[in-house]
Chains A and B, each alone.
Chain A
């Protein structure tokens, strides 16, 4: 373990610095680069992109699937609590989703657990179809929600649903390092059958006297140590004391709102929160609602409902364009977030991180463009 904290961010270059021999190889390889040939031999051989092979698939609960991944050498590791963007190909098209690895820091293998969302394209695809040998693309690890060094004197973890995953990484990291100070986990799930990592948590609690496991099954009262949704009464009365513990909370918005309401009056600085919202169903607004954020230009403007190209021009951005009728793709840019409608086909998409033609796309509510 490194003594200092390495900050990984999305703008970290994923392409490794090219040494002189590699540059010569690039010259031989030509327009498609060395990777264009290496990946024909094995998709994991690429040098400039982080990819991982699925080693094992375990369907832990009816609603979740746990994947063990072996990243290639471009992977730079992560801090417990952080998330990665995983690109999964469904019917020919890649979709990116954020998942927090649940494995301990420093392990060669990476574990992610995906919970089904009703109607969720990627989560259901992985739950139904993931199998060993599948190759996924990874982004470098991101996020400020992470276990800091030096390790705190006591740790309180509060998680619900798939929000358990980054907490699992923190817990496993702590226990693997022989952390003997108090740790508690408040775990919320509908019932024991749908509690992700239930068996392992029970094993860990039995083996580590410093770790307290407190569970509430919201639809199975009496089955856990606690009952009902989060309330301050659920907080452990002995160590770790919530007012002193470094607290990590992750789960659905309602849980996090309740937690935030409790950590007031200066306690907030010990509270770290990560919101898990099903990405497959972002609320699509109406044309003319919300705001357009031009991320690369640092400009934000109210969404007028006109095509994104016209709105960029109105905002004073010299966006490249050609035919202005959806043919030439000169104005194609990356949509980072938000929902849009194709004005010609009428198709709508709320997919994050996808290339869209600005001249024939209109925003449905808030939208962020890489422009």
Chain B
């Protein structure tokens, strides 16, 4: 299932060069043809699907809030928290993320317009559209351009230069997962970068104000307004909402980190991706992405990011169609000898966790978690790095 390529520390040629330019262009034309076929089919079924999902999400949210209002009764708290968690997961992933890609712009419905949609999370929708739709989807896995590689916090690629800060890689990852909605919200702000020139500072101040405004509204709603309705029992809706936010954070982190970091995905340099053709762009999207296998409910809850490869090839096609086209994409990849990376969640996420630990160390020490046996070498490497 998972296709493992040559280890990145062998000086093999870039996977981008594995195909001839003619093959790459012909692969690109096949991808365009798949896209055209789907565009011709797109219609009422897609509208019915997304509206049905929105209906389910709104129902789960209202139901969840109502149950949490009576959260003093443990079964109500449990059911309410579960419903609110599901509501936030659906809202952010299968609805928000996909609508904001413009997947439903063709419907011309202002409520489903990618430009106008706002979602139930800390990150303001307009900032997300920039950092995600443009920066990440255009520059997928290009080190130095795609800030999704580690979110400016983690070391997720050998190409990122090691500093002692990255010794905390696993800890930073755990913190990022826990507070993921805030990590995403701060994404566009590039807080780890120097402040820059005056106009850059003004831009960042504008972004920060937008984030603050959104976080304030979200916090007020989840942690003040709804709890206040329960009077003396305010703690139950409050802890319910906190748990729902945490559940959504952990789930979203897990799914998103399985998109580009499992074993076998590739990162690229700015030089090797300069002046890309459309075919080369398609090729890079496949090489840099990984899929998760699972059932229909799993795919919906993952926002169909379980079809990360298809999503990166066709980010603005309705995501619930990815399953259908994945058959053709995988078949084409096999014919061209392009690795199509797919595996179950436990295996893909396991390899991501392994990578997070591995890259805490200065040099790629493949397939070895830091254990007692390696601690000596590890200490030496740290000492070597710290020496002036």
Contacts and interface: CB of A to CB of B under 8 A. Distances in A.
Interface of A: 27-28, 30-32, 36-37, 40, 87, 89, 91-96, 322-323, 325, 327-330, 332, 344-345, 347, 351, 353-355, 357
A93 B114 CA distance: 14
23 contacts: A30-B120, A30-B221, A32-B118, A89-B47, A89-B107, A91-B43, A92-B43, A92-B48, A93-B106, A94-B107, A322-B138, A323-B134, A323-B138, A328-B133, A328-B134, A328-B315, A329-B115, A344-B32, A345-B36, A345-B39, A354-B108, A355-B108, A355-B115
A327 B282 CA distance: 11
B46 interface: yes
Interface string B296-333: 00000000000000000001100000000000000000
B278 A325 contact: yes
A344 B36 CA distance: 10
A36 B130 contact: no
Contacts of B101: 329
Contact of B217 (A27, A32, A36, A351): A27
Given A93-B107, A93-B108, A323-B137, A329 B129 contact: yes
Contacts of B278: 325
B204 interface: no
Nearest to B226: A28
B194 to A, nearest CB: 24
A327 B58 CA distance: 29
A351 B106 CA distance: 11
A92 B281 contact: no
Contacts of B218: 30
Contact of B55 (A40, A351, A357): A40
Contact of B113 (A32, A36, A89, A355): A355
A332 B220 contact: no
Contacts of B45: 92
B42 to A, nearest CB: 7
A246 to B, nearest CB: 38
Given A27-B217, A92-B44, A36 B225 contact: no
Contacts of B119: 31
Contacts of B129: 328-330
B199 to A, nearest CB: 13
Give the one of A92, A96, A344 with max B CB within 10 A: A92
Contacts of A89: 47, 107, 109
Contact of B138 (A28, A40, A328, A353): A328
B191 interface: no
A313 to B, nearest CB: 17
Interface string B82-118: 0000000000000000000110011111010111001
Interface residues of B, number: 47
B368 interface: no
The A contact surface, by secondary structure, is mixed
Contacts of B221: 27-28, 30
B59 interface: yes
B379 interface: no
A31 B137 contact: no
B18 interface: no
B62 interface: yes
A95 B108 CA distance: 7
Nearest to B222: A30
Contacts of A329: 101-102, 105, 114-115, 129, 133, 316
A344 B138 CA distance: 16
A332 B55 contact: no
**Minimum-distance CB pairs A-B, first 3:** A322-B134, A92-B47, A329-B102
Contacts of A344: 32
A91 B47 CA distance: 8
Contacts of A322: 130, 133-135, 138
Nearest to B229: A28
Contacts of B62: 37
A89 B51 CA distance: 13
Given A332-B114, A355-B105, A92 B46 contact: yes
Given A329-B129, A332-B114, 8 more contacts: A30-B218, A87-B108, A89-B109, A323-B138, A328-B138, A328-B315, A330-B130, A345-B35
B24 to A, nearest CB: 16
Contacts of A347: 39
Contacts of B114: 329, 332, 355
Interface in B129-148: 129-130, 133-135, 137-138
A94 to B, nearest CB: 4
A91 B40 CA distance: 12
